[in-house]
Amino acid sequence: MAVAGRKEILTYEDYLSLEDDKRYELINGRLIEVPTPGFEHQSVLGHFSVKIWEAVKKGSLGEVLPAPFDVILSETVVVQPDIVFISSDNLKNIKNGRLFGSPDLVVEIVSPTSYVRDRYEKFPLYERYGVKEYGLVYPEYRAIEVWCLKDGKYVLHSVAVGSGEVESCVLKDFKVKVEEVLK
């Protein structure tokens, strides 16, 4: 996607030079505008962030950040996951207020308009760049999937639909019930 006289494949430098207040992600050199989320998305984001934050705080394990927060996976891949967990060991990779490299855990709240991007574009990116855990939350279906990186590939670790709970592979002993985050 060309942007006002810019080259076809954009880089992190191009991303930084954008001069508007819109939110964007850079996926394999393509600039993608991220729409403003609605109430349901933000409600889930808040509830899920708090649950993760409580577990991380209790164990002094690192930091939990909600979007918008830039994660630079490469020169042509800059994402703003809905929720990011960065372990204490990886906090050294934060420079100029952004994470350079893979977070330990990412959660995306999937909407009908973000489904393809979250499930089929970001999934292989997070896998390739070594994000240890990828959580997908589907408010429309009251479902949560937790994918864990094993030998360089994501394996479905935990899933709950309608009710029940999922557990993390990165945050030991962390479990969350569908009802706690999908009201």
How high is the mean pLDDT of the chain?
94
Domain of residue 177, residue span: 38-181
CA separation, residue 32 to residues 18, 38, 99 (Å): 12, 18, 19
**Within a 13 Å sphere around the CA of 3, how many CA atoms are in the beta-carbon half?**
16
Residue 162 belongs to a domain: yes
Residue 101 placed within a domain:
yes
pLDDT single digits (tens) 24-66: 999 999 999 998 899 999 999 999 999 999 999 998 899 999 9
> What confidence category does residue 6 fall into, taking pLDDT thresholds of 50, 70 and 90?
low
User: How many Cβ atoms from other residues are within 10 Å of residue 94's Cβ?
Assistant: 15
Quick check: is 117 in a domain?
A: yes
Rounded to whole angstroms, the Cα distance separating 127 from 85 reads 16
Q: What's the CA gap between 148 and 133, in Å, rounded?
A: 5
pLDDT one-digit tens code per residue, 100-141: 999 999 999 999 989 999 999 999 999 999 999 999 999 999
What 3-state DSSP class applies to 54?
Answer: helix
In this structure, is residue 77 part of a structural domain? yes
C-alpha–C-alpha distance, residues 148 and 109, integer Å: 17
Closest CA to 163 of 150, 140, 146, 182: 182
Q: What is the pLDDT of residue 7?
A: 62
Q: Is residue 50 part of a domain?
A: yes
User: Could you tell me the pTM of the whole model?
Assistant: 0.92
- pLDDT category at 1 given cuts 50, 70, 90 is very low
d(CA 79, CA 144): 21
Q: Flag whether 19 is in a domain.
A: no
Taking CA atoms, 173 is separated from 6, 55, 88, 169, in Å, by: 48, 9, 18, 8
Structural domain contains residue 64: yes
The CATH code of the domain that includes 64 is 3.90.1570.10
Please count the other Cβ atoms lying within 10 Å of the Cβ belonging to residue 39: 7
Residue 58 lies in a domain: yes
Question: What sign for the dihedral angle of Cα 36, 164, 115, 26?
Answer: positive
Q: Is the pLDDT of residue 3 over 60?
A: no
When divided into structural domains, the chain yields a total of: 1
